[in-house]
Amino acid sequence: MSSLSASSSAAANQPEILHPVDAEEVAAAVRRAVDEGRGLTVRTGGHGFWKPRPADLTIDLRRLSSLEVGEDSGEGRMVRVGAGALWGEVAAALAPHGVAISSGDTASVGVGGLIVGGGIGLLVRDRGLAIDQLRGAQLVTADGVVREVSASENADLFWAIRGGGGNFGVVTRLDFAAAPLDGVLAGELAVDGDQTALLRTVRDALESAPRALTVTYMDVPAMDPSAPAGARLAVTWAGTDQEALDEALRPIVAVDGVRGEVVRTAYGDALNTMPHDVDEPTPPMLSMNGLFTVLDDALIERLVAFRRAHAVSVVFLRSLGGAFGDVAEETTAFPARSATWFVMAVAFDIPGMLDDAEREAVRSELAAIAQGRLSAYTNFADPASNPDPRVFYTPEAWTRLRVLKAQWDPQNVFAGNHNIPPAD
């Protein structure tokens, strides 16, 4: 008898949630959903926009949270992680070994969910995307079969899951090459002055900064204690060379109104610790995100004006380049390797907050901000504002992904995502 556990409410509008303990139980859940003609929702850390639909069978992977640290393979210490583990747990487990995997930026994010979208994290300029450290994975496909995928086995699926979202199966295990890291220098600089001047200076400084430096700019309203209001620049330096970091930051800290401290810490302690309730609905919003080749003056001015115009809005930027651009674009489904900045702008559309005219103004401003982007990023894209999934891929990748979808999931079993339809 299977040990697959389930939880459900007696209420008819509540989804049934399964908690498998291994890949075989995941496969049984997929076969059951297909046999019953039900939709599937898959979640790991529960951090994201997708919530179970009432009729769905939901596969919660949190019990697949094992972590094994192996020997150095010559390209890094091999680490095998269950897809339901959280990135904070992974960072803490790897720290005693003196290695790290570039993940996202929040400890409560699930490993599997981040990986299938790419993984733009705090070490992105030093280590690249999270998927760039992936060497293999275990995947349950729509036919309910457990498969190993890598560059040498089911290579087409290995290409697709690195950026193609959850469209090709349920990832149950991931195999990484973790590189040495004895700590990071991290901290936040508050920005009280001219935001436009600050962003121009940051852009110029990052053009020649060592790839060890990744910065994240945020300007947020007063929403909750975990996200202090105002503008700030989060700094992450891969390593502990304080003198080199001080030199890289010199022009930035010279800008009027910039103040703060950067200290040595473990990589895991640099991750955000914002709590997430997997059952709490994401607030409605109008949003745009994009990968941009350059952060030009016009884009900066639009972002600053957007934040000023809308009281409950967020502007978020993260520097790219460095190792992010070392990987050839065709190597994975993830696009835009020539981008040097990731940009996101959000206006919350909580009932009573925006009228029709304001809503239309926000949409117009977001469209202007999006001009010139190479593509959007699935992991930060809410479904309502991003209805066309082609925006996440190059035309060549989109065509290839649709062909692979027709081969591996012709009935579109895995549709609860930024969905890639099977080719005709």
Structure tokens at 28: 């049984």
DSSP-derived secondary structure letter, 57: E
Q: Does residue 411 lie in a domain region?
A: no
- 270 shares a domain with 373: yes
- 283 shares a domain with 196: yes
User: CA–CA separation, 333 vs 312, rounded Å?
Assistant: 34
- 308 shares a domain with 281: yes
Query: In 3D, which of 185, 80, 203 has the Cα closest to residue 122?
Result: 185
pLDDT for 13: 59
**Single-letter amino acid code for the residue at 107:** A
Any residues with CB less than 8 A from the CB of 349 and at least 6 apart, and which? Answer: 283, 284, 285, 286, 359, 362
- 73 shares a domain with 17: no
Domain encompassing residue 104: 67-181
- 169 shares a domain with 204: no
The answer to whether the CB of 100 falls within 8 A of the CB of 121 is no
User: CA–CA separation, 424 vs 410, rounded Å?
Assistant: 9
Q: Does residue 206 lie in a domain region?
A: yes
Query: In 3D, which of 289, 384, 296 has the Cα closest to residue 342?
Result: 289
The answer to whether the CB of 229 falls within 8 A of the CB of 315 is no
Structure tokens at 50: 């997708």
- 358 shares a domain with 258: yes
pLDDT for 46: 65
- 220 shares a domain with 165: no
Q: Is 282 helix (H, G, I), strand (E, B) or coil?
A: coil
Q: How many CA atoms lie within 13 A of 102 on its CB side?
A: 27
Buried b (16+ CB within 10 A) or exposed e, 225-254: eeeeeebbbbbbbbbeeeebbeebbeebee
Any residues with CB less than 8 A from the CB of 143 and at least 6 apart, and which? Answer: none
Structure tokens at 80: 């095998």
Whole-prediction pTM: 0.94
Structure tokens at 84: 């339901």
Which residue among 164, 181, 198 closes a domain?
181
Residue 362 parent element (H or E): helix 356-370
Q: Does residue 422 lie in a domain region?
A: no
Q: How many CA atoms lie within 13 A of 385 on its CB side?
A: 29
Structure tokens at 391: 């925006």
Q: Is 213 helix (H, G, I), strand (E, B) or coil?
A: strand
* 16-19/57-60 β-pairing: parallel
Q: Does residue 94 lie in a domain region?
A: yes
Q: Does residue 413 lie in a domain region?
A: no
- 236 shares a domain with 223: yes
The answer to whether the CB of 318 falls within 8 A of the CB of 104 is no
Q: Does residue 105 lie in a domain region?
A: yes
The answer to whether the CB of 59 falls within 8 A of the CB of 170 is yes
- 174 shares a domain with 251: no
Q: Tens place of pLDDT for every residue, the chain, 424 residues?
A: 355 655 544 345 567 999 999 999 999 999 999 999 998 989 987 667 767 777 889 999 999 999 999 988 788 899 999 999 999 999 999 999 999 999 989 999 999 999 999 999 999 999 999 999 999 999 999 999 999 999 999 999 999 999 999 999 999 999 999 999 999 999 999 999 899 999 999 999 999 999 999 999 999 998 655 567 889 999 999 999 999 999 999 999 999 999 999 999 999 999 988 766 666 667 889 999 999 999 999 999 999 999 999 999 999 999 999 999 999 999 999 999 999 999 999 999 988 889 999 999 999 999 999 999 999 999 999 888 888 999 999 999 999 999 999 999 999 999 989 999 999 9
Q: Which residues pair with 236 in a beta bridge?
A: 186, 214
Q: Is 113 helix (H, G, I), strand (E, B) or coil?
A: helix
- 211 shares a domain with 335: yes
Q: Which residues pair with 194 in a beta bridge?
A: none
Query: In 3D, which of 379, 367, 374 has the Cα closest to residue 291?
Result: 374
Packing angle between helix 242-253 and helix 195-208, nearest 10 degrees? Answer: 140
User: CA–CA separation, 171 vs 314, rounded Å?
Assistant: 31
Measured between alpha carbons, how far is residue 371 from residues 190, 214, 292, 343, 367 in Å? Answer: 29, 24, 9, 12, 7
CATH number of the domain encompassing residue 310: 3.40.462.20
Which residue among 137, 166, 181 closes a domain?
181
Which residue among 181, 203, 221 closes a domain?
181
User: CA–CA separation, 41 vs 29, rounded Å?
Assistant: 11
- 128 shares a domain with 215: no
DSSP-derived secondary structure letter, 421: P
- 233 shares a domain with 297: yes
For the chain, report the end-to-end CA distance as a whole number of angstroms: 40
**Single-letter amino acid code for the residue at 410:** P
pLDDT for 383: 87
CATH number of the domain encompassing residue 89: 3.30.465.10
User: CA–CA separation, 405 vs 400, rounded Å?
Assistant: 9
Number of domains comprising the chain:
3
Q: Does residue 421 lie in a domain region?
A: no
pLDDT for 208: 96
